[in-house]
Structure 1
Amino acid sequence: MSETPLPPQSAVEAEIRRLGLSMSPSEFHGSVCGWLAGGGEAGPDWLARVMADDALQAVPADSPLDLLRAASAAQLAHRSFEFELLMPGADAGLAERSGALFDWCRGFVGAFGLAAGDKALLSEDSREALADLVRLAGAQAQDEGDEEDEEALMEIEEFVRVAVMLLHGDCVLAPRHRQQFN
């Protein structure tokens, strides 16, 4: 478990519904992480920028959405490999969990593109990881599966976590380190 835990999925979902956003909690979390990994800033208007909708109001600091953003930013910055994806619990079916993972990737890829644009200096590994995330974003959940499919989903989720940390490293951490030496 992370030192900076994510808020409960149910709280995030309720806030998403209250704001009238048409996305799942997993896709929203992917969007937040894509924004952060691409170098997007966390100013008071972060929600409007992540969602590319200037009409969205700032969220209060104690809102589940801002707590999710803050926890995600802390996990990415900590580099302890405790970065978590907001996903349905293990009691959810394979279709629900795999669909949530693909939704997460869709959110990530879109917001990463908004934040990083074409200015990102990505390593070859990061370019390949991003291409794989794009492919996952286009995938469809399967209805049924066996233990082998469960293991494959766990491996894909682990790949996504590592890919996100790699992209964050190239777009956020590396530029910070370069600035320290200038």
Structure 2
Amino acid sequence: MSSVTLPDYDVLAAELRALESGLEPSELHGSLCGWIAGGGRHDDAGWFAAVMSDPQLAPPESGSALEQLHVASALQLESPDFGFELLLPPDDRPMPERGDALIAWGRGFLGGFGLAAGREPPLSEDAGEALADLARLAANDLSYEDTEGDEEALAEISEFVRVAVMLVHSDCVLGPRHRRRLN
């Protein structure tokens, strides 16, 4: 995995509560990753205002969990070792909390991606299918009836989302960047 780490889930949750953002860490991380994967500028201090669609928001403070989230997310998505991770509640949290956070992550991703990529992003057929699958996943409500099976399903779905995000990022950001270098 990447040596760049995401902030602690609970520390970021506390920062978001203090800002009265109304978002949970997973949803914000999904939004940020969608914004980056869609080609949104992530190299400036205005990322938070852009992702939150509120130009009046101040940039996160230096050294904050928000800043760590931004830096780690951008670096993980660019990582050649596929070190990208989803920010979800820790494994010791109840399954419904973790499952609902994964759904919120997906919804956040779709919103951030739409903001940055626009109506017709440059997606391959595989990435387009992955994005459509993410949309179907984000539109669902999960049921939690089989504890052991639910753990396995959550792990599989999380891995699918992780790979789908890297594929979409590759098509929309890495591919165009590579083509510009060749020309």
TM-score (norm 2): 0.95
Q: Distance in 2 between matches of 1:84 and 1:115?
A: 20
Tell me, yes or no, if structure 1 residue 174 matches structure 2 residue 160. no
Task: Give the distance between the partners of 2:16 and 2:115, measured in 1 at CA.
Answer: 20
1:25 equivalent in structure 2? 25
Q: What is the identity, as a one-letter code, of the residue corresponding to 2:136?
A: R
Q: Over residues 91-142 of structure 1, what are the superposed CA-to-partner deviations in whole Å (9 max), with x where a residue is unaligned?
A: 1121111101000001000000001112421000111010111111112132
Q: How does 1:98-117 map to 2 (within 5 A)?
A: 98-117=99-118
Q: CA deviation at 1:46?
A: 0.9
Partner of 2:5: 5
RMSD: 1.2
User: 1:14-93 alignment to 2 at 5 Å?
Assistant: 14-42=14-42, 43-93=44-94
* Count of equivalent residues: 182
Q: Distance in 2 between matches of 1:122 and 1:138?
A: 21
State TM-score, norm by structure 1.
0.96
For the 8 Å contact 1:94–1:145, the answer to whether it is kept is no
AA of the residue aligned to 1:2 = S
Cα contact 1:29–1:85 (8 A) shared by 2: yes
Name the % identity. Answer: 54
State whether residues 144 and 150 of structure 2, in contact with CA within 8 Å, keep that contact through their aligned partners in structure 1. Answer: no
Query: Does the CA contact (< 8 Å) of 2:2 and 2:82 recur in 1?
Result: no
Q: Retained in 1: the 8 A contact 2:5–2:72?
A: yes
Which 5+ residue runs of structure 2 have no aligned equivalent? Answer: none
